[in-house]
Structures are given as C-alpha cells and as structure tokens.
Amino acid sequence: AQTVTQSQPEMSVQEAETVTLSCTYDTSESDYYLFWYKQPPSRQMILVIRQEAYKQQNATENRFSVNFQKAAKSFSLKISDSQLGDAAMYFCAYNGGSNYKLTFGKGTLLTVNP
C-alpha cells in the first residue's frame, strides 16, 4: 500500500521569506502523480501544484515550486516570498496511476508571521 509522510506537523515563516515543506512517499508503482493541496482555516481545499512522476522537471506555479526526487521518493514544496494568505494546512497527496483515490499525508500547518 502507498503511504505519504509529512514529518513536520507545524512550520512557521516570516512574511516575504522562503519556506520548504517536506513530504516523502512509498510506492512500488512507476506511474503516479503527486499533489500539494492547501486548506485555509474553515475554507475550501484547493490544489497548489501537481507533479507527474514521469517528468524529471520540477513543477512550478508562480511562488510555489517543488523539489521532486523520484529515487529518494521525496516531494517537497517551496513557497517563496511568503504572504499572509499562505497560512493554511498543506497536504501532500499521492495518486497511483491505476486508481481514482488520493493518499494524503497528515498535513503541515503553516503559520506566516507579519
């Protein structure tokens, strides 16, 4: 079975600084997708970024980028120029190519200090 591990229950960052959230996963599949989702307090969970396992290039979306290390099964999220609105719970998630389900990590609560 696939597992996703987020080893940092909580992180904090100063506004305008950079923070990296860690995620590791375990799978025997070769075709899969990885996601970071953001869930602000009492608000909707939204997709931040997606990575296809077959792509070596790291995905980027504006201030958000990932460091995908396939051999190490590591998928960290870097947030540059952190903003107050980035404060949220961040979930790393795995989707194997052969099914419709997401396997979530336990989440990292990010606080952004002004």
Partner 1 sequence: DAMVIQNPRYQVTQFGKPVTLSCSQTLNHNVMYWYQQKSSQAPKLLFHYYDKDFNNEADTPDNFQSRRPNTSFCFLDIRSPGLGDAAMYLCATRSQGANSGEPQHFGDGTRLSIL
Where are the strands (E) in 1-114, listed by range? 3-5, 10-14, 19-21, 24-26, 32-39, 46-52, 60-61, 64-69, 74-79, 88-96, 103-104, 108-113
> What is the number of H-type helices and E-type strands within the chain?
0, 12
Residues 65-94 that bind partner 1 (CB under 8 A): 89, 91
Among 24, 52, 78, 80, binds partner 1 (CB under 8 A): 52
Does residue 100 bind partner 1 (CB under 8 A)?
A: yes
Among 2, 27, 33, 70, binds partner 1 (CB under 8 A): 33
Which residues make up the interface to partner 1 (CB under 8 A)?
Answer: 31-33, 35, 37, 43-47, 50, 52, 89, 91, 95, 97-102, 104-107, 109
